A and B are shown apart, each in its own frame.
Chain A
């Protein structure tokens, strides 16, 4: 049988295709309903109405209320606004922040920025499992702690952090008089992939990114629980209830709303279907290729991400070789970024440099099919074998792959 050139996109944690329904929903807001949502005439009011509908759609996905949703430009802005917004609003009460070692750089670098300006930051360990431990959170809290920021799902490993436990701890602390303690989570990798309920988890602020859930790049949202005050980070008009100045991008906001609605409707389906495919991919790769290992806790993780290390291979070599076969994945290898260390996530879980060099992340999406996974299973063993044949470190016995 002749091989058909294929395109298999397994990098959905990097970004996703915009859904057709989402594109359809946003298009009228470029040329027909183009009013400024702050204008009082019908052009403006129709745009505003669409924006408020979107706000409701976003809120519904995470069990928030519409006024608690602030539209922003993406996950990075949401994280910046949350972390700096709380730190600066609570500066009189305390200057200590607790976060984890493997947060997204939008949180990590915001924390480092604050450290340079006199804040104290505790970076919690995440251990081999890639999970924050609640006892570490508890031990880190001091009277001047104003913010705990722990991501919901780690982007490279897919591990789900114990947010409910942290949320309960924050509630207990507050009840005991620690009123200025707030809880933020970067939920960019969890929203639309697993159930996210801000009430149940006890979250005060939550970051959402549009392009991870089939909306376009350039739009996101920050949930800020009612009654929580944040310092605005850019100055201008009275948009978004004085919390985020700048004329709202109505088309992108409408797109985000539609995407959230679709994710909510298809969430159960997605989890069941993609979980089966991910497990199939992982099990078969582990069976067909020797000397590979898995990263992160096997149980406490999202259904669509697999993180694997291929010994005696360099991650970028795997990535480019797969790309040439029409398969997109990502790597935490140092070579890929031109840095000394493997990714800060792999370093945080204590992976040695040599193992981290051969890491690949597969992130499946709502449109991934079994045929696509089969194509990866047919292609990858040969790619690994080719690179291992090149490797001076590989012994003859690890070059064998069975199929």
Chain B
């Protein structure tokens, strides 16, 4: 049912946890099945230097978030924002059709985290060290 990449990410999810010195935090939920995804970014000089995630979600969502944290590491914000759900799906080999929304969920969390970073930077001038995780 799932590709070996999805299963591998489920078995060994990358970059799990709260990034203590995150500069951006994004949350995405899937209203359909209740999947919940938290993405943490550390951005320095317009570049993503660290990313991590937490998820209470089905295997393909966990895999999508996990692979995304690898894909965006070292990317400039501009390049990261050009990523599409199809890129995440491709990185996972394939997703079942009724699970393609999992890739969209990961991308939505990424956009939210970048927006958060932008907002914090403009609003405060400096970025607080710890982000409330709720």
Contact = CB atoms under 8 A, between A and B. Distances in A.
Interface in B6-59: 7, 10-11, 13, 16-17, 32-38, 54-59
B58 A317 contact: yes
B88 to A, nearest CB: 17
Interface stretch (A22-30, A243-251, A388-396): A388-396
B10 A321 contact: yes
A338 B33 contact: yes
Interface residues of B, number: 25
A139 interface: no
A390 B13 contact: yes
A340 B33 CA distance: 5
Interface string B73-96: 000000000000000000000000
Interface string A318-336: 0011001000000001111
Contact of B57 (A317, A336, A339, A389): A317
B122 interface: no
B2 interface: yes
B72 interface: no
A325 to B, nearest CB: 10
A77 interface: no
A104 interface: no
Contacts of A312: 56
B86 to A, nearest CB: 19
Interface string A384-403: 00010111111000000000
Name B's interface SS: mixed
A391 B54 CA distance: 6
A334 B133 contact: no
B33 A392 contact: no
A316 B7 CA distance: 12
Given A338-B33, A338-B98, A340-B32, A392 B59 contact: no
Contact of A314 (B7, B16, B58): B58
Interface of A: 312-314, 316-317, 320-321, 324, 333-336, 338-340, 353-354, 357, 387, 389-394
- Shortest 6 CB-CB contacts between residues of A and residues of B: A335-B58, A391-B56, A338-B98, A392-B54, A392-B38, A316-B58
Given A316-B58, A324-B10, A387-B56, 11 more contacts: A313-B56, A314-B56, A314-B58, A317-B59, A321-B10, A335-B33, A335-B35, A338-B33, A340-B32, A340-B33, A392-B134
30 contacts: A312-B56, A314-B56, A314-B57, A316-B58, A317-B10, A317-B57, A317-B62, A320-B7, A320-B10, A320-B59, A321-B10, A321-B11, A334-B33, A334-B34, A335-B35, A335-B57, A335-B58, A336-B58, A338-B33, A338-B98, A338-B99, A340-B32, A354-B34, A387-B56, A389-B16, A390-B13, A390-B62, A391-B36, A392-B37, A392-B38
